[in-house]
Structure 1
Amino acid sequence: MTTTTPLVGPRVIALAHYAGRALLQHVLDRHGMTFEQSVTLRLAAIADGPVGREQLVDGVTEALKTDAGQVHGVLDELIVAGLLAADREAEVRITDAGRELYATTSAATAPITARIYDGLPAEDLAVTGRVLTLITERAGTELAALTR
């Protein structure tokens, strides 16, 4: 039996995405976190300081292609959990507990990610990055046209 390499298409991309997301969710479950909370916490963690609430909502909405109202709810969950704090009405910042949780989940996923990417040629990763970035941009353009 001969195995052929499938061409990159929606199914292959989706399978890779969901395989990686399932691994991440396994780690997040141990800490009582959702995927949406993780994405939101990450954006707060990598910010240089307090970030505008709407700016954070926009970043998560863009990353997850989701509704801003849902993201506001996730932000509220993280604030109630003490992982984010509202400095002023319009700004939020990550707390020490949030930074510690982000560091813990990042450390738990790092070796998994390393094993997945181990041995993949840098040239292949560069091409894949360029192709997936272009696909993401085009899909974003299509989504924007549908939601006008």
Structure 2
Amino acid sequence: MLQNIAYNAVQAGHSVLFTTASQLLLDLGSHDSARALDRRLKHYCTQAGLLVIDEIGYLSYDARNADLLFLVASRRYEKKPIVLTTNLPFSEWTTIFPNAACAIALIDRVIHHASIISIKGDSYRNPPLAKRTRAPRAAHADTAAR
């Protein structure tokens, strides 16, 4: 679904930057000088019309990474759209960010003008055990009949 949103934005003439949270933070964290970091932040904060950050919440963040993610959201706030995906409800973001105040401020900026889509259900990557165990038997029976 996220890729379809990004694709439709491109089709409508907008520039889109798609990244995972870990890629974003590895990139930003690799810059030691304030000047280099500021230049790279501009890449994420002003150049792309739509910034898509996937997989927030799959890893926990140290204070520096939490600050970097906050900087990106803060600089884009009320200027350019941002789409985030997460496997955690906002109430659990304090478990992945070391500073609850940073998590709350980030959530505040992200949801201020947001449309939140919550998807519930089984993962398509992990079908129920019954489906996984039936398929091999059916394949084996088909092979034996030949």
TM range (shorter): under 0.3
TM-score normalized with structure 1 length = 0.27
Q: Which has the larger radius of gyration?
A: 2
**Structure (1/2) with the larger strand percentage:** 2
